[in-house]
Structure 1
Protein backbone atom coordinates (compact mmCIF):
# COMPACT_ATOMS: atom_id res chain seq x y z
CA UNK A 1 0.00 0.00 0.00
CA UNK A 2 2.87 2.34 0.83
CA UNK A 3 4.49 1.64 -2.54
CA UNK A 4 1.17 2.23 -4.36
CA UNK A 5 0.68 5.52 -2.54
CA UNK A 6 4.22 6.55 -3.43
CA UNK A 7 3.65 5.79 -7.12
CA UNK A 8 0.39 7.70 -7.02
CA UNK A 9 2.05 10.79 -5.63
CA UNK A 10 4.72 10.69 -8.35
CA UNK A 11 2.20 10.85 -11.17
CA UNK A 12 2.52 14.12 -13.07
CA UNK A 13 -0.69 15.82 -14.03
CA UNK A 14 -0.45 17.15 -17.60
CA UNK A 15 -2.73 20.17 -18.09
CA UNK A 16 -5.17 19.84 -20.96
CA UNK A 17 -4.79 22.62 -23.47
CA UNK A 18 -7.90 24.69 -23.79
CA UNK A 19 -9.50 24.69 -27.21
CA UNK A 20 -8.84 27.93 -28.94
CA UNK A 21 -12.04 29.76 -29.71
CA UNK A 22 -12.20 31.14 -33.25
CA UNK A 23 -14.10 34.44 -33.58
CA UNK A 24 -17.26 34.08 -35.69
CA UNK A 25 -16.07 36.61 -38.28
CA UNK A 26 -12.79 34.72 -38.72
CA UNK A 27 -14.60 31.41 -39.04
CA UNK A 28 -16.90 32.92 -41.67
CA UNK A 29 -13.93 34.36 -43.57
CA UNK A 30 -12.10 31.01 -43.59
CA UNK A 31 -15.24 29.30 -44.88
CA UNK A 32 -15.65 32.02 -47.51
CA UNK A 33 -12.05 31.55 -48.68
CA UNK A 34 -12.72 27.88 -49.41
CA UNK A 35 -15.20 28.89 -52.11
CA UNK A 36 -13.14 29.68 -55.21
CA UNK A 37 -16.02 31.18 -57.16
CA UNK A 38 -16.80 33.51 -54.25
CA UNK A 39 -13.17 34.64 -54.17
CA UNK A 40 -13.28 35.29 -57.91
CA UNK A 41 -16.40 37.38 -57.40
CA UNK A 42 -14.75 39.29 -54.56
CA UNK A 43 -11.73 39.93 -56.79
CA UNK A 44 -13.93 41.29 -59.59
CA UNK A 45 -15.77 43.59 -57.18
CA UNK A 46 -12.53 44.88 -55.65
CA UNK A 47 -11.12 45.46 -59.14
CA UNK A 48 -14.05 47.65 -60.18
CA UNK A 49 -13.99 49.52 -56.87
CA UNK A 50 -10.29 50.30 -57.38
CA UNK A 51 -10.73 51.55 -60.94
CA UNK A 52 -13.72 53.62 -59.80
CA UNK A 53 -11.59 55.40 -57.19
CA UNK A 54 -8.57 55.77 -59.51
CA UNK A 55 -10.55 56.75 -62.62
CA UNK A 56 -9.24 60.37 -62.67
CA UNK A 57 -5.67 59.01 -62.52
CA UNK A 58 -6.02 56.04 -64.87
CA UNK A 59 -8.21 57.64 -67.56
CA UNK A 60 -6.01 58.89 -70.43
CA UNK A 61 -8.60 61.42 -71.66
CA UNK A 62 -11.37 63.60 -70.31
CA UNK A 63 -14.59 61.59 -70.59
CA UNK A 64 -16.42 64.70 -71.85
CA UNK A 65 -13.81 65.71 -74.47
CA UNK A 66 -15.26 65.53 -77.97
CA UNK A 67 -13.18 65.24 -81.13
CA UNK A 68 -15.37 64.62 -84.15
CA UNK A 69 -12.35 63.95 -86.34
CA UNK A 70 -11.66 60.79 -84.30
CA UNK A 71 -15.24 59.48 -84.18
CA UNK A 72 -15.74 55.72 -84.51
CA UNK A 73 -12.07 54.83 -84.28
CA UNK A 74 -11.51 51.14 -83.68
CA UNK A 75 -9.64 50.00 -80.54
CA UNK A 76 -5.94 50.84 -80.85
CA UNK A 77 -2.92 51.77 -78.77
CA UNK A 78 -4.16 55.38 -78.74
CA UNK A 79 -7.74 54.53 -77.78
CA UNK A 80 -7.82 51.12 -76.07
CA UNK A 81 -11.60 50.72 -76.33
CA UNK A 82 -12.03 52.89 -79.42
CA UNK A 83 -14.13 56.06 -79.67
CA UNK A 84 -17.85 56.78 -79.90
CA UNK A 85 -19.97 58.87 -82.27
CA UNK A 86 -18.62 62.10 -80.74
CA UNK A 87 -14.99 61.02 -80.78
CA UNK A 88 -14.91 60.50 -77.01
CA UNK A 89 -12.56 57.89 -75.58
CA UNK A 90 -14.67 54.87 -74.53
CA UNK A 91 -12.02 53.54 -72.14
CA UNK A 92 -12.12 56.75 -70.11
CA UNK A 93 -15.91 56.77 -70.12
CA UNK A 94 -16.09 53.15 -68.96
CA UNK A 95 -13.73 53.94 -66.08
CA UNK A 96 -15.81 56.89 -64.90
CA UNK A 97 -18.96 54.86 -65.52
CA UNK A 98 -17.79 52.40 -62.86
CA UNK A 99 -18.04 55.24 -60.32
CA UNK A 100 -21.63 55.97 -61.25
CA UNK A 101 -22.85 52.36 -61.41
CA UNK A 102 -21.26 51.40 -58.09
CA UNK A 103 -22.50 54.61 -56.46
CA UNK A 104 -26.06 53.93 -57.57
CA UNK A 105 -25.81 50.26 -56.61
CA UNK A 106 -24.43 50.82 -53.11
CA UNK A 107 -26.55 53.76 -52.03
CA UNK A 108 -29.82 52.57 -53.52
CA UNK A 109 -29.43 49.23 -51.74
CA UNK A 110 -28.41 51.04 -48.54
CA UNK A 111 -31.65 53.00 -48.64
CA UNK A 112 -33.65 49.84 -49.32
CA UNK A 113 -31.95 48.03 -46.42
CA UNK A 114 -32.55 50.85 -43.93
CA UNK A 115 -36.23 51.39 -44.70
CA UNK A 116 -37.04 47.77 -45.53
CA UNK A 117 -35.40 46.47 -42.35
CA UNK A 118 -37.15 49.07 -40.19
CA UNK A 119 -40.58 48.28 -41.65
CA UNK A 120 -39.96 44.53 -41.53
CA UNK A 121 -38.95 44.61 -37.86
CA UNK A 122 -41.96 46.72 -36.91
CA UNK A 123 -44.36 44.48 -38.84
CA UNK A 124 -42.91 41.24 -37.53
CA UNK A 125 -42.53 42.29 -33.89
CA UNK A 126 -45.79 44.12 -33.27
CA UNK A 127 -48.01 42.12 -35.63
CA UNK A 128 -51.78 42.58 -35.75
CA UNK A 129 -53.01 45.67 -37.60
CA UNK A 130 -49.49 47.11 -37.94
CA UNK A 131 -48.33 43.95 -39.71
CA UNK A 132 -51.46 43.90 -41.85
CA UNK A 133 -51.01 47.47 -43.11
CA UNK A 134 -47.28 47.15 -43.84
CA UNK A 135 -47.69 43.74 -45.49
CA UNK A 136 -50.46 44.99 -47.75
CA UNK A 137 -48.29 47.92 -48.85
CA UNK A 138 -45.52 45.45 -49.69
CA UNK A 139 -47.98 43.27 -51.62
CA UNK A 140 -49.21 46.23 -53.67
CA UNK A 141 -45.66 47.28 -54.53
CA UNK A 142 -44.68 43.74 -55.48
CA UNK A 143 -47.74 43.42 -57.71
CA UNK A 144 -46.08 45.75 -60.23
CA UNK A 145 -43.07 44.71 -62.32
CA UNK A 146 -40.04 46.34 -60.70
CA UNK A 147 -38.83 48.16 -63.80
CA UNK A 148 -42.32 49.60 -64.47
CA UNK A 149 -42.57 50.82 -60.90
CA UNK A 150 -39.12 52.41 -61.21
CA UNK A 151 -40.16 54.12 -64.44
CA UNK A 152 -43.29 55.45 -62.72
CA UNK A 153 -41.27 56.88 -59.83
CA UNK A 154 -38.76 58.53 -62.19
CA UNK A 155 -41.60 59.87 -64.33
CA UNK A 156 -43.06 61.56 -61.23
CA UNK A 157 -39.74 62.92 -59.93
CA UNK A 158 -38.14 63.69 -63.30
CA UNK A 159 -35.34 61.95 -65.23
CA UNK A 160 -31.99 62.24 -63.46
CA UNK A 161 -29.39 60.01 -61.87
CA UNK A 162 -30.43 60.94 -58.32
CA UNK A 163 -34.09 60.23 -59.03
CA UNK A 164 -33.14 56.91 -60.61
CA UNK A 165 -31.30 56.05 -57.39
CA UNK A 166 -34.41 56.91 -55.35
CA UNK A 167 -36.61 54.83 -57.65
CA UNK A 168 -34.34 51.78 -57.37
CA UNK A 169 -34.26 52.14 -53.59
CA UNK A 170 -38.06 52.34 -53.41
CA UNK A 171 -38.77 49.27 -55.53
CA UNK A 172 -36.41 47.09 -53.47
CA UNK A 173 -37.84 48.03 -50.04
CA UNK A 174 -40.51 45.25 -50.08
CA UNK A 175 -37.88 42.56 -50.74
CA UNK A 176 -35.91 43.44 -47.60
CA UNK A 177 -39.05 44.17 -45.60
CA UNK A 178 -40.60 40.74 -46.20
CA UNK A 179 -37.27 39.00 -45.61
CA UNK A 180 -36.75 40.71 -42.24
CA UNK A 181 -40.38 40.26 -41.24
CA UNK A 182 -40.22 36.48 -41.74
CA UNK A 183 -36.99 36.30 -39.75
CA UNK A 184 -38.39 38.40 -36.90
CA UNK A 185 -41.51 36.22 -36.68
CA UNK A 186 -39.31 33.22 -35.90
CA UNK A 187 -36.78 35.02 -33.69
CA UNK A 188 -39.36 36.66 -31.40
CA UNK A 189 -40.63 33.20 -30.39
CA UNK A 190 -37.25 32.24 -28.93
CA UNK A 191 -36.99 31.74 -25.18
CA UNK A 192 -34.46 34.53 -24.61
CA UNK A 193 -36.87 37.04 -26.18
CA UNK A 194 -39.67 35.86 -23.92
CA UNK A 195 -37.31 36.10 -20.94
CA UNK A 196 -36.39 39.66 -21.89
CA UNK A 197 -40.06 40.60 -21.99
CA UNK A 198 -40.67 38.88 -18.67
CA UNK A 199 -38.03 40.97 -16.87
CA UNK A 200 -39.57 44.15 -18.24
CA UNK A 201 -37.03 45.03 -20.96
CA UNK A 202 -38.24 47.81 -23.25
CA UNK A 203 -39.29 46.98 -26.80
CA UNK A 204 -36.67 49.28 -28.29
CA UNK A 205 -33.91 47.50 -26.38
CA UNK A 206 -35.22 44.07 -27.39
CA UNK A 207 -35.37 45.13 -31.04
CA UNK A 208 -31.86 46.60 -31.23
CA UNK A 209 -30.00 44.25 -28.87
CA UNK A 210 -31.60 40.90 -29.66
CA UNK A 211 -33.88 40.79 -32.68
CA UNK A 212 -31.93 42.96 -35.13
CA UNK A 213 -28.51 41.26 -34.61
CA UNK A 214 -30.12 37.83 -35.04
CA UNK A 215 -32.00 38.86 -38.18
CA UNK A 216 -29.24 40.67 -40.07
CA UNK A 217 -27.41 37.70 -41.70
CA UNK A 218 -29.92 37.09 -44.54
CA UNK A 219 -30.10 40.86 -45.09
CA UNK A 220 -26.35 40.99 -45.77
CA UNK A 221 -26.63 38.21 -48.35
CA UNK A 222 -29.68 39.77 -49.99
CA UNK A 223 -28.02 43.19 -50.06
CA UNK A 224 -24.99 41.82 -51.92
CA UNK A 225 -27.20 40.24 -54.55
CA UNK A 226 -29.41 43.34 -54.68
CA UNK A 227 -26.44 45.53 -55.64
CA UNK A 228 -26.08 43.51 -58.83
CA UNK A 229 -29.79 43.92 -59.53
CA UNK A 230 -29.60 47.65 -58.80
CA UNK A 231 -26.76 48.08 -61.30
CA UNK A 232 -28.85 46.36 -63.98
CA UNK A 233 -31.90 48.48 -63.12
CA UNK A 234 -29.82 51.67 -63.25
CA UNK A 235 -28.49 50.62 -66.66
CA UNK A 236 -32.05 49.89 -67.83
CA UNK A 237 -33.27 53.32 -66.73
CA UNK A 238 -30.25 54.92 -68.37
CA UNK A 239 -30.94 52.98 -71.56
CA UNK A 240 -34.51 54.31 -71.58
CA UNK A 241 -33.25 57.87 -71.06
CA UNK A 242 -34.71 58.13 -67.55
CA UNK A 243 -31.49 57.82 -65.61
CA UNK A 244 -28.20 59.62 -66.06
CA UNK A 245 -28.31 62.46 -68.57
CA UNK A 246 -25.59 63.46 -71.09
CA UNK A 247 -22.66 63.82 -70.87
CA UNK A 248 -22.60 61.58 -67.76
CA UNK A 249 -20.78 58.34 -68.71
CA UNK A 250 -23.30 55.87 -67.32
CA UNK A 251 -23.00 52.37 -68.81
CA UNK A 252 -26.68 51.99 -69.67
CA UNK A 253 -26.78 55.41 -71.31
CA UNK A 254 -23.65 54.51 -73.28
CA UNK A 255 -25.45 51.44 -74.63
CA UNK A 256 -28.46 53.55 -75.60
CA UNK A 257 -26.30 56.09 -77.42
CA UNK A 258 -24.53 53.33 -79.37
CA UNK A 259 -27.44 51.05 -80.30
CA UNK A 260 -27.77 52.62 -83.75
CA UNK A 261 -24.12 51.90 -84.57
CA UNK A 262 -23.95 48.22 -83.67
CA UNK A 263 -22.91 47.19 -87.19
CA UNK A 264 -20.71 50.19 -87.89
CA UNK A 265 -18.89 50.32 -84.55
CA UNK A 266 -19.69 47.26 -82.38
CA UNK A 267 -17.02 48.19 -79.82
CA UNK A 268 -19.15 51.11 -78.66
CA UNK A 269 -21.62 48.58 -77.20
CA UNK A 270 -19.27 45.71 -76.38
CA UNK A 271 -17.13 47.36 -73.70
CA UNK A 272 -19.91 49.03 -71.66
CA UNK A 273 -21.92 45.81 -71.91
CA UNK A 274 -18.94 43.76 -70.71
CA UNK A 275 -18.45 46.15 -67.80
CA UNK A 276 -22.07 45.65 -66.71
CA UNK A 277 -21.85 41.89 -67.12
CA UNK A 278 -18.60 41.50 -65.16
CA UNK A 279 -19.73 43.75 -62.31
CA UNK A 280 -23.04 41.92 -61.93
CA UNK A 281 -21.26 38.56 -62.15
CA UNK A 282 -18.83 39.59 -59.41
CA UNK A 283 -21.57 40.61 -56.98
CA UNK A 284 -23.61 37.47 -57.74
CA UNK A 285 -20.67 35.14 -57.12
CA UNK A 286 -19.76 36.97 -53.93
CA UNK A 287 -23.38 36.92 -52.77
CA UNK A 288 -23.64 33.17 -53.35
CA UNK A 289 -20.49 32.68 -51.28
CA UNK A 290 -21.85 34.80 -48.44
CA UNK A 291 -25.11 32.85 -48.52
CA UNK A 292 -23.23 29.57 -48.15
CA UNK A 293 -21.33 30.98 -45.16
CA UNK A 294 -24.05 32.93 -43.32
CA UNK A 295 -27.14 30.83 -44.00
CA UNK A 296 -27.34 28.02 -41.40
CA UNK A 297 -29.42 25.91 -43.78
CA UNK A 298 -26.54 25.83 -46.27
CA UNK A 299 -24.01 24.55 -43.73
CA UNK A 300 -23.38 20.84 -43.72
Structure 2
Protein backbone atom coordinates (compact mmCIF):
# COMPACT_ATOMS: atom_id res chain seq x y z
CA UNK A 1 0.00 0.00 0.00
CA UNK A 2 1.43 3.35 -1.07
CA UNK A 3 1.49 6.32 1.22
CA UNK A 4 0.31 9.77 0.18
CA UNK A 5 3.94 11.04 -0.01
CA UNK A 6 4.89 8.16 -2.35
CA UNK A 7 1.92 8.89 -4.61
CA UNK A 8 2.77 12.58 -4.77
CA UNK A 9 6.41 11.74 -5.55
CA UNK A 10 5.39 9.47 -8.41
CA UNK A 11 3.00 12.08 -9.75
CA UNK A 12 5.27 15.07 -9.64
CA UNK A 13 8.68 13.38 -9.91
CA UNK A 14 11.54 13.61 -7.41
CA UNK A 15 11.73 16.77 -5.36
CA UNK A 16 14.82 18.82 -6.24
CA UNK A 17 16.49 20.50 -3.33
CA UNK A 18 18.53 23.65 -3.88
CA UNK A 19 22.18 22.86 -3.47
CA UNK A 20 24.00 24.99 -0.92
CA UNK A 21 27.53 26.36 -1.19
CA UNK A 22 29.59 28.63 1.07
CA UNK A 23 29.47 31.51 -1.42
CA UNK A 24 25.71 31.16 -1.96
CA UNK A 25 25.13 31.08 1.78
CA UNK A 26 27.34 34.15 2.16
CA UNK A 27 25.36 36.03 -0.47
CA UNK A 28 22.12 35.04 1.28
CA UNK A 29 23.41 36.42 4.59
CA UNK A 30 24.75 39.55 2.89
CA UNK A 31 21.35 40.35 1.38
CA UNK A 32 19.89 40.49 4.88
CA UNK A 33 22.26 43.28 5.96
CA UNK A 34 20.81 46.63 4.98
CA UNK A 35 23.93 48.62 5.82
CA UNK A 36 26.07 46.40 3.59
CA UNK A 37 23.60 46.78 0.73
CA UNK A 38 23.60 50.55 1.27
CA UNK A 39 27.40 50.51 1.01
CA UNK A 40 27.20 48.43 -2.17
CA UNK A 41 24.72 50.92 -3.63
CA UNK A 42 27.12 53.81 -2.92
CA UNK A 43 29.99 51.91 -4.56
CA UNK A 44 27.96 51.09 -7.65
CA UNK A 45 26.72 54.70 -7.80
CA UNK A 46 30.24 56.14 -7.93
CA UNK A 47 31.39 53.50 -10.44
CA UNK A 48 28.47 54.31 -12.74
CA UNK A 49 29.00 58.05 -12.30
CA UNK A 50 32.67 57.71 -13.19
CA UNK A 51 32.01 55.55 -16.24
CA UNK A 52 29.19 57.76 -17.53
CA UNK A 53 30.86 61.08 -16.75
CA UNK A 54 30.89 62.24 -20.43
CA UNK A 55 27.17 61.46 -20.63
CA UNK A 56 26.24 63.12 -17.34
CA UNK A 57 27.97 66.41 -18.14
CA UNK A 58 28.98 68.03 -21.40
CA UNK A 59 31.46 70.45 -19.84
CA UNK A 60 35.19 69.64 -19.99
CA UNK A 61 36.75 68.89 -16.61
CA UNK A 62 39.67 71.22 -17.37
CA UNK A 63 37.66 74.01 -19.01
CA UNK A 64 38.47 77.42 -17.52
CA UNK A 65 36.36 80.57 -17.50
CA UNK A 66 37.83 83.27 -15.25
CA UNK A 67 34.68 85.35 -15.62
CA UNK A 68 32.79 82.66 -13.65
CA UNK A 69 35.37 82.00 -10.96
CA UNK A 70 34.16 81.16 -7.43
CA UNK A 71 30.50 81.16 -8.44
CA UNK A 72 28.21 79.55 -5.83
CA UNK A 73 26.05 76.51 -6.67
CA UNK A 74 23.36 77.34 -9.18
CA UNK A 75 21.25 75.78 -11.94
CA UNK A 76 24.13 76.33 -14.36
CA UNK A 77 26.86 75.06 -12.03
CA UNK A 78 25.33 72.58 -9.58
CA UNK A 79 28.38 72.49 -7.30
CA UNK A 80 29.63 75.98 -8.12
CA UNK A 81 32.97 76.86 -9.70
CA UNK A 82 36.56 77.05 -8.42
CA UNK A 83 39.11 79.86 -8.57
CA UNK A 84 39.74 79.22 -12.28
CA UNK A 85 36.08 79.10 -13.21
CA UNK A 86 36.02 75.33 -13.68
CA UNK A 87 32.77 73.49 -13.00
CA UNK A 88 33.20 71.60 -9.71
CA UNK A 89 30.38 69.14 -10.45
CA UNK A 90 32.16 68.04 -13.63
CA UNK A 91 35.51 67.72 -11.85
CA UNK A 92 33.99 65.74 -8.97
CA UNK A 93 32.38 63.12 -11.21
CA UNK A 94 35.53 62.81 -13.32
CA UNK A 95 37.50 62.56 -10.09
CA UNK A 96 35.56 59.39 -9.25
CA UNK A 97 37.43 57.70 -12.09
CA UNK A 98 40.82 58.63 -10.64
CA UNK A 99 40.08 57.77 -7.01
CA UNK A 100 38.46 54.41 -7.80
CA UNK A 101 41.21 53.57 -10.30
CA UNK A 102 43.94 54.24 -7.75
CA UNK A 103 42.04 52.46 -4.98
CA UNK A 104 41.27 49.34 -7.00
CA UNK A 105 44.60 48.80 -8.74
CA UNK A 106 46.72 49.63 -5.70
CA UNK A 107 44.79 47.02 -3.71
CA UNK A 108 45.12 44.48 -6.53
CA UNK A 109 48.88 45.04 -6.54
CA UNK A 110 49.05 44.69 -2.75
CA UNK A 111 46.99 41.49 -2.84
CA UNK A 112 49.05 39.87 -5.60
CA UNK A 113 52.41 40.63 -3.98
CA UNK A 114 51.31 40.17 -0.37
CA UNK A 115 49.42 36.93 -1.05
CA UNK A 116 52.36 35.43 -2.94
CA UNK A 117 54.80 36.28 -0.16
CA UNK A 118 52.39 35.10 2.53
CA UNK A 119 51.84 31.77 0.78
CA UNK A 120 55.56 31.13 0.47
CA UNK A 121 56.32 32.22 4.04
CA UNK A 122 53.55 30.20 5.65
CA UNK A 123 53.98 27.05 3.57
CA UNK A 124 57.76 26.65 3.51
CA UNK A 125 58.51 28.22 6.90
CA UNK A 126 62.03 28.17 8.36
CA UNK A 127 64.46 30.76 7.01
CA UNK A 128 62.10 31.75 4.18
CA UNK A 129 59.40 32.63 6.71
CA UNK A 130 61.93 34.50 8.87
CA UNK A 131 63.18 36.69 6.02
CA UNK A 132 59.72 37.56 4.67
CA UNK A 133 58.27 38.18 8.15
CA UNK A 134 61.14 40.51 9.07
CA UNK A 135 60.60 42.40 5.80
CA UNK A 136 56.95 42.86 6.74
CA UNK A 137 57.98 44.07 10.19
CA UNK A 138 60.34 46.65 8.71
CA UNK A 139 57.61 48.08 6.46
CA UNK A 140 55.10 48.13 9.32
CA UNK A 141 57.60 49.91 11.58
CA UNK A 142 57.03 53.12 9.59
CA UNK A 143 53.76 55.10 9.69
CA UNK A 144 52.04 54.23 6.42
CA UNK A 145 51.53 57.78 5.15
CA UNK A 146 55.13 58.76 5.95
CA UNK A 147 56.44 55.71 4.12
CA UNK A 148 54.20 56.53 1.15
CA UNK A 149 55.55 60.10 1.12
CA UNK A 150 59.12 58.79 1.18
CA UNK A 151 58.48 56.39 -1.71
CA UNK A 152 56.76 59.05 -3.84
CA UNK A 153 59.58 61.48 -3.06
CA UNK A 154 62.09 58.95 -4.39
CA UNK A 155 60.04 58.00 -7.46
CA UNK A 156 58.79 61.52 -8.15
CA UNK A 157 55.35 63.13 -7.72
CA UNK A 158 52.62 61.69 -9.91
CA UNK A 159 49.49 59.59 -9.85
CA UNK A 160 51.18 56.38 -11.05
CA UNK A 161 53.96 56.68 -8.47
CA UNK A 162 51.36 57.35 -5.76
CA UNK A 163 49.58 54.14 -6.80
CA UNK A 164 52.86 52.21 -6.50
CA UNK A 165 53.57 53.69 -3.08
CA UNK A 166 50.09 52.84 -1.77
CA UNK A 167 50.44 49.29 -3.07
CA UNK A 168 53.83 48.82 -1.37
CA UNK A 169 52.82 50.09 2.06
CA UNK A 170 49.81 47.74 2.16
CA UNK A 171 51.65 44.56 1.13
CA UNK A 172 52.36 43.45 4.74
CA UNK A 173 48.66 43.64 5.61
CA UNK A 174 47.76 40.94 3.08
CA UNK A 175 51.02 39.04 3.50
CA UNK A 176 50.58 38.52 7.23
CA UNK A 177 46.89 37.72 6.81
CA UNK A 178 47.60 35.00 4.24
CA UNK A 179 50.58 33.66 6.19
CA UNK A 180 48.44 33.11 9.29
CA UNK A 181 45.82 31.29 7.23
CA UNK A 182 48.40 29.07 5.54
CA UNK A 183 49.95 28.10 8.89
CA UNK A 184 46.61 26.65 10.01
CA UNK A 185 45.39 25.26 6.68
CA UNK A 186 48.59 23.35 5.83
CA UNK A 187 48.03 21.14 8.89
CA UNK A 188 44.63 20.00 7.65
CA UNK A 189 44.15 16.36 6.69
CA UNK A 190 43.30 17.05 3.04
CA UNK A 191 46.63 18.88 2.60
CA UNK A 192 48.49 15.99 4.19
CA UNK A 193 46.65 13.57 1.91
CA UNK A 194 47.63 15.64 -1.14
CA UNK A 195 51.28 15.44 -0.09
CA UNK A 196 51.06 11.67 0.39
CA UNK A 197 49.58 11.33 -3.11
CA UNK A 198 52.63 13.08 -4.51
CA UNK A 199 50.95 16.34 -5.48
CA UNK A 200 53.42 19.15 -6.18
CA UNK A 201 53.84 22.03 -3.75
CA UNK A 202 52.65 24.56 -6.32
CA UNK A 203 49.48 22.59 -6.98
CA UNK A 204 48.80 22.21 -3.26
CA UNK A 205 49.23 25.96 -2.75
CA UNK A 206 46.95 27.03 -5.59
CA UNK A 207 44.42 24.19 -5.54
CA UNK A 208 43.90 23.66 -1.82
CA UNK A 209 45.43 26.38 0.35
CA UNK A 210 44.76 29.57 -1.65
CA UNK A 211 41.04 28.87 -2.34
CA UNK A 212 40.46 28.32 1.37
CA UNK A 213 42.18 31.62 2.16
CA UNK A 214 40.15 33.80 -0.23
CA UNK A 215 37.40 34.90 2.17
CA UNK A 216 39.58 37.07 4.46
CA UNK A 217 41.51 38.40 1.44
CA UNK A 218 38.28 39.58 -0.20
CA UNK A 219 37.09 41.25 2.99
CA UNK A 220 40.41 42.97 3.63
CA UNK A 221 40.65 43.99 -0.02
CA UNK A 222 37.25 45.68 0.11
CA UNK A 223 38.21 47.59 3.24
CA UNK A 224 41.63 48.28 1.73
CA UNK A 225 40.12 50.17 -1.21
CA UNK A 226 38.64 52.67 1.24
CA UNK A 227 42.05 53.12 2.85
CA UNK A 228 43.71 53.48 -0.55
CA UNK A 229 41.24 56.20 -1.59
CA UNK A 230 42.07 58.13 1.59
CA UNK A 231 45.81 57.68 1.09
CA UNK A 232 45.57 58.81 -2.54
CA UNK A 233 43.64 61.89 -1.42
CA UNK A 234 46.25 62.62 1.26
CA UNK A 235 49.10 62.37 -1.24
CA UNK A 236 47.17 64.53 -3.68
CA UNK A 237 46.55 67.10 -0.95
CA UNK A 238 50.29 67.23 -0.23
CA UNK A 239 51.08 67.70 -3.91
CA UNK A 240 52.71 64.27 -4.27
CA UNK A 241 49.86 62.44 -5.98
CA UNK A 242 47.76 63.66 -8.87
CA UNK A 243 49.12 66.80 -10.48
CA UNK A 244 47.23 69.81 -11.84
CA UNK A 245 44.94 69.97 -13.69
CA UNK A 246 43.85 66.39 -12.91
CA UNK A 247 40.49 66.41 -11.05
CA UNK A 248 41.57 64.25 -8.12
CA UNK A 249 39.53 64.93 -4.99
CA UNK A 250 42.44 65.45 -2.62
CA UNK A 251 44.17 67.76 -5.08
CA UNK A 252 40.93 69.73 -5.54
CA UNK A 253 40.72 70.32 -1.79
CA UNK A 254 44.38 71.37 -1.64
CA UNK A 255 43.95 73.86 -4.48
CA UNK A 256 40.87 75.43 -2.84
CA UNK A 257 41.80 75.39 0.84
CA UNK A 258 42.55 79.13 0.84
CA UNK A 259 38.95 79.78 -0.25
CA UNK A 260 37.34 77.63 2.43
CA UNK A 261 35.69 80.60 4.15
CA UNK A 262 34.82 82.68 1.09
CA UNK A 263 33.78 79.78 -1.17
CA UNK A 264 33.05 76.75 0.99
CA UNK A 265 31.65 74.75 -1.92
CA UNK A 266 35.11 74.40 -3.47
CA UNK A 267 36.16 72.01 -0.69
CA UNK A 268 32.75 70.76 0.47
CA UNK A 269 31.79 68.65 -2.52
CA UNK A 270 35.18 66.94 -3.10
CA UNK A 271 35.29 66.22 0.64
CA UNK A 272 31.79 64.74 0.56
CA UNK A 273 32.79 62.55 -2.39
CA UNK A 274 35.75 61.17 -0.44
CA UNK A 275 33.63 60.61 2.67
CA UNK A 276 30.81 58.80 0.84
CA UNK A 277 33.18 56.60 -1.15
CA UNK A 278 35.13 55.54 1.93
CA UNK A 279 31.90 55.02 3.89
CA UNK A 280 30.47 52.86 1.11
CA UNK A 281 33.48 50.53 1.01
CA UNK A 282 33.64 50.32 4.81
CA UNK A 283 29.96 49.43 5.14
CA UNK A 284 30.18 46.84 2.39
CA UNK A 285 33.43 45.43 3.78
CA UNK A 286 31.94 45.03 7.25
CA UNK A 287 28.94 43.28 5.75
CA UNK A 288 31.18 40.94 3.76
CA UNK A 289 33.15 40.09 6.88
CA UNK A 290 29.99 39.03 8.71
CA UNK A 291 28.60 37.19 5.67
CA UNK A 292 31.77 35.20 5.02
CA UNK A 293 32.32 34.32 8.68
CA UNK A 294 31.31 30.66 9.17
CA UNK A 295 30.35 31.44 12.77
CA UNK A 296 27.52 33.65 11.47
CA UNK A 297 25.93 30.71 9.63
CA UNK A 298 22.70 29.60 11.28
1:89 counterpart = 2:87: yes
Question: Out of 220, 229, 242, which is 2:218 matched to?
Answer: 220
1:232 is aligned to: 230
Bigger radius of gyration: 1
* Number of matched pairs: 291
1:241 to 230, 239, 242: 239
Report matched runs for 1:48-63 at 5 Å.
Answer: 48-63=46-61
How far is 1:298 from its partner?
Answer: 4.2
- Across the aligned residues of Structure 1 and Structure 2, the Cα RMSD in angstroms comes to 1.2
**Residue 31 of structure 2 is aligned to residue 33 of structure 1:** yes
* Residue aligning to 2:111: 113
- Give the SS at the match of 1:272: helix
Contact 1:291 1:298 in 2 (8 A): no
- Residue 196 (structure 2) pairs with residue 189 (structure 1): no
Aligned partners of 1:46 and 1:18: how far apart in 2? 35
Shift, 1:18, TM fit: 5.5
Q: How many angstroms apart in 1 are the aligned matches of 2:15 and 2:233?
A: 57
Contact 1:292 1:299 in 2 (8 A): no
Q: Do the aligned partners of 1:124 and 1:185 also contact (CA within 8 Å) in 2?
A: yes
Equivalent-residue separation in structure 2 for 1:181 and 1:37 (angstroms): 31
Q: Match of 2:282?
A: 284
**SS at the partner of 1:216?**
helix
Residue of structure 2 aligned with 1:156, choices 154, 157, 167: 154
Q: Partners of 2:173 and 2:191 in 1: how far apart?
A: 25
Aligned to 2:202: 204
1:145 aligns with 2:176: no
State the alpha-carbon separation in 2 of the partners of residues 20 and 56 from structure 1.
Answer: 44
CA–CA separation in structure 1 for the residues paired with 2:18 and 2:105: 39
Match of 1:272 in 2: 270
CA contact (8 A) 1:159 1:242 kept: yes
The residue aligned with 1:4 is none
Deviation (angstroms), 1:21: 1.4
* CA distance, structure 1, for counterparts of residue 217 and residue 242 of structure 2: 28
TM-score, reference length from structure 2: 0.95
**Runs of 5+ unmatched residues, structure 1:** 1-9
Match of 2:165 in 1: 167
2:2 and 2:159 mapped to 1: Cα distance? 77
Equivalent-residue separation in structure 2 for 1:254 and 1:17 (angstroms) = 60
Distance 1:121 1:53 in 2: 35
| C-alpha displacement of 1:200 | 1.1
1:251-266 alignment to 2 at 5 Å? 251-266=249-264
